[in-house]
Structure 1
Amino acid sequence: MEERWKVKTPEHVTLNFQLAGLGSRGAAQIVDSILLALLYSGMIALLVFTENQMDFMLEGRGWVIAFVILVLFGIQWGYFFLFEWFSGGKTLGKMMLGLRVVKEDGGKATVLSIFIRNLLRIIDMLPFYYLIGMVMVFFHPQHKRLGDLVGGTIVIHERKKQRLKKKQTLVEKEIEKRDLESGQLVIGDWEKQNVTKKDWDLLKTYVYRYPTLKPEEKNNMTREVAEILLPKLELEDETKSEDELATRLYAAYIELREEWEFHL
């Protein structure tokens, strides 16, 4: 039976999330652990090879061991932190299992929340291989370990993508030209609620008209639409050129079209 987490937005819209339980989270952790083990093995093999070639390192063996421990910790912590930060709340293991870390309100996990939840892995890993973390995930109503509790995060199953039944020739050509595909741009469920029917109609009109416009018209329309929509999706960036803004708007269209095409 699926366990759900419901969030009520200020607009009185209820967001439903499927919580990731111990089984799926454990499977993702096993995948990540295997990858980390391969990294550790490669590093240790390199160290052994280097030490055999450099006799002077033998004299400072204690310093070398301390350095290795520090580096191993950095790899362990950095792997989870960097992947979840740059991949929208997903490690390689979570990607394979279709999981994602989000805030309790359904929004994208912040850098601070990701930092906290991964820093507290030190405790969740005790006394061996995440025993404390597994016990907490098993018994907690929202399947949270200590890092999730303090960081204000939950781990959810991502919504499965659906394919559009109709193909819009000009739109799809523009998407292919810009080398875009579903999943490249991360928009949190909370940010999606900022998009109104009027916003969606504006974005849809834009992506359909853009390929038919002259260069100057494209730039003007892109700038106007970007100023309206990107702040709502927390994707604004004043340093972007018109062409880069157009790419970002098309990527946003790809991520939003399922909800609006299939659920209106």
Structure 2
Amino acid sequence: MNEDRIDIKTPEYVSLQFQVAGLGSRTAAFIIDQLILMAFNIAVIVIFIVIANGQPDLLFFLDMNSYLLAIGIIAIFLINWGYFFVFEYFSGGRTIGKRLMGIRVIQENGHSITLLSSFIRNLLRIIDSLPTSYFLGIMMIFFHSKHKRIGDLVAGTIVIHERKTKRKRKLSPIEKEIQTRGLSINDLMIEEWSLKSMNMKDWKLVQTYSNRFLQLPQKEREAMTKQIAEILFPKLGLDLDDGDLENKLLIIYLILKEEWEYEL
């Protein structure tokens, strides 16, 4: 089951192969996430009890009991639902459990999960958990050819194993250049929302730039740098007039490389 692979053709007509995450890895990730959530739930319950028992007037406590109970229930619901929704969208389709198990959620077209898809697939956890203990979701994952639960079917998502970056014994010329310049992904602050606007076509553009960077004469390199910066910087919310375009593009290469350059 864990050897299942699918081929996805992106809207940019790039074919990608992924290994679909089966029931075992998804269950292990879910258990890890549930243990984390259990700790948060217990903390909320303890806080609720402390606040309730801390009321000096018994009649005041009775008046506030249902109010505090409602707040506690809402808080627990938001924590349990929001945990998956927030982590999957803002952490590249990975909750803590998924990250530890090396799996992630993506769109069926190979792109990162969208805000709407994350909302839908996690809202439908309510249905997947029926009639009890996530029974319906488990059955769907086990029998579906792509191991999808109902939330995945409706949201158009799929859970796959991480494709790890190919490890090289020595740095490539462009990596040596980046290292020589002392650049890292932490040198450029880009909003997560802006990064999610990047697609495979943008990555190919940056990759081509980095591959030709050291081969071009200075004038041609400067012209190419400006041209590509004019295309990408507005999408990333960066200022074209801030100078140092080369270093910024090389850092963008490092950032996008983590997302797009990997293999099974």
Q: If the length of structure 2 is used for normalisation, what is the TM-score?
A: 0.77
CA distance in 2, matches of 1:5, 1:163: 23
Aligned residue number for residue 4 of structure 1: 5
The answer to whether structure 1 residue 236 and structure 2 residue 236 are counterparts is yes
Query: Secondary structure, in 3 states, of the residue corresponding to 1:143?
Result: coil
Which aligned segments of 4 or more residues in structure 1 are displaced greater than 6 angstroms? 185-188, 257-262
Q: What are the within-5 Å matches in structure 2 for residues 108-257 of structure 1?
A: 108-167=112-171, 168-174=175-181, 176=183, 179=186, 191-192=199-200, 195-196=203-204, 200-206=207-213, 223-229=226-232, 236-238=236-238, 246-247=247-248, 249-253=250-254, 255-256=256-257
Compared CA separation, residues 123 and 175, structure 1 to 2 (3 A): farther
Computed over aligned residues only, the root mean square deviation of the Cα atoms, in angstroms, reads: 3.6
- Give the counterpart letter for 1:51 in structure 2: A
User: Aligned residues: percent identity?
Assistant: 40
CA contact (8 A) 2:10 2:110 kept: no
CA contact (8 A) 1:124 1:131 kept: yes
Compared CA separation, residues 164 and 48, structure 1 to 2 (3 A): same
CA contact (8 A) 2:210 2:250 kept: yes
Compared CA separation, residues 10 and 108, structure 1 to 2 (3 A): closer
Query: Secondary structure, in 3 states, of the residue corresponding to 2:94?
Result: coil
Alpha-carbon displacement from aligned partner over 1:43-96 (angstroms, at most 9, x marks no partner): 111111222211433333222222211111111111111111111111111111
Compared CA separation, residues 245 and 95, structure 1 to 2 (3 A): farther
Query: Secondary structure, in 3 states, of the residue corresponding to 2:6?
Result: strand
User: How many residues are treated as equivalent by the alignment?
Assistant: 246
Compared CA separation, residues 52 and 30, structure 1 to 2 (3 A): same
CA distance in 2, matches of 1:85, 1:32: 16
CA contact (8 A) 1:88 1:108 kept: yes
CA distance in 1, matches of 2:179, 2:144: 44
Q: What are the within-5 Å matches in structure 2 for residues 48-67 of structure 1?
A: 48-55=49-56, 56-67=60-71
Deviation, 1:187, is 7.7
The answer to whether structure 1 residue 78 and structure 2 residue 79 are counterparts is no
Compared CA separation, residues 179 and 239, structure 1 to 2 (3 A): closer
Structure 1 gaps, min length 5: none
Aligned residue number for residue 21 of structure 1: 22
CA distance in 1, matches of 2:31, 2:23: 12
Moved more, 75-84 or 170-179: 170-179
CA distance in 1, matches of 2:29, 2:111: 22
CA distance in 2, matches of 1:61, 1:261: 53
Query: Secondary structure, in 3 states, of the residue corresponding to 2:154?
Result: helix
Query: Secondary structure, in 3 states, of the residue corresponding to 2:236?
Result: coil
Aligned residue number for residue 33 of structure 1: 34
CA contact (8 A) 2:106 2:160 kept: yes
Query: Secondary structure, in 3 states, of the residue corresponding to 2:36?
Result: helix
